[in-house]
Amino acid sequence: MAPSTPEQPARRIPSLSAKGRAEGWEDAEGDLAKYRSPWRARVRWVLQRVLFRILVRANVTQTVKVARRVRSVRGPFVLVANHTSHLDAPMLAQGLPWTQARYLSTGVAADYFFRVWYRRWFVRWMFNAFPIDRDGSRRNSGTSRRLLRAGVPILVFPEGTRQTSGRMTDFKPGAAALASGVGVPVVPAAIIGGYEAMPKGRSWPKKGRPPVGVVFGEPMTAEDGESVAAYMQRIRARVQNLYDEHYEEILGAPNPRAAGDEENA
């Protein structure tokens, strides 16, 4: 009879994303396994990068810019972006290089998307979505943290809802707390032109293929001793800078915010 061996700890995979903690991430098991399913990712590639890309290019003029170091990120990270319209999540998912976007999971409202089967089916397959509670039930509390620890990058819109004026609002600190707590980087991204093309209240982009851009900035990590609030402010400033720096290039018009800043200088 072979001697018994002590139980082996969960296997961890080396991760550039978690280099601050060095231990990498755990295998996705149980209900989390579907978020890192290779065959689901292949289906998602067809949905996002073929079918939806055709639809997007037929309705908007798309520009994508990716900072060089984004392509070197491996494993989990938190993608943080401003929230301008219903175009945001699909444009971010299809604009991010596939190596980083393959398992990207987007948090969506549980009460709207997960209670009706066809909406649940759509967001599961298109966005690898996980539910977020808006009713205070905390039924899905901790899901985003568990996903990151299982090697699944997540997309967060820290404004909490779509913009109503085209101006970026305050960022809630949850994304910064999550990234620094798990030990993964933040990839900042700016959506430019989404509000102009499809403001809140519209279900389809305006006619004439309006320009919309997605700009992915250099990955960020929390600094030693930096508070969550300060880290979130720094992330928001980076997203705002990406927006301001590329506004005129993508939309072909001067940035009204920059003009206002000059007048107030």
49-105 pLDDT tens trace: 999 889 888 999 999 999 999 999 988 999 999 998 888 988 999 999 999 999 999
Name the pairing type of β-strands 154-156 and 105-109.
parallel
Residue type for 219, please? P
For residue 2, what pLDDT band results from cuts at 50, 70 and 90? very low
CB burial of 174-197 (b: ≥16 within 10 Å; e: otherwise) equals ebbbbbbebbbbbbbbbbbbbbbb
User: Which H or E element spans position 26?
Assistant: strand 25-26
DSSP category for residue 47: I
Domain ranges in the chain are 13-253
Torsion of the alpha carbons at 216, 222, 223 and 224, rounded to the nearest 10: -160
**pLDDT score, position 186:** 97
Residues in the chain: 265
115-159 pLDDT tens trace: 888 999 999 999 999 988 776 666 767 889 999 999 999 999 988
Cα–Cα distance for residue pair 123/108, rounded to 1 Å = 8
**pTM summary value:** 0.85
Dihedral sign (CA 161, 162, 164, 167): positive
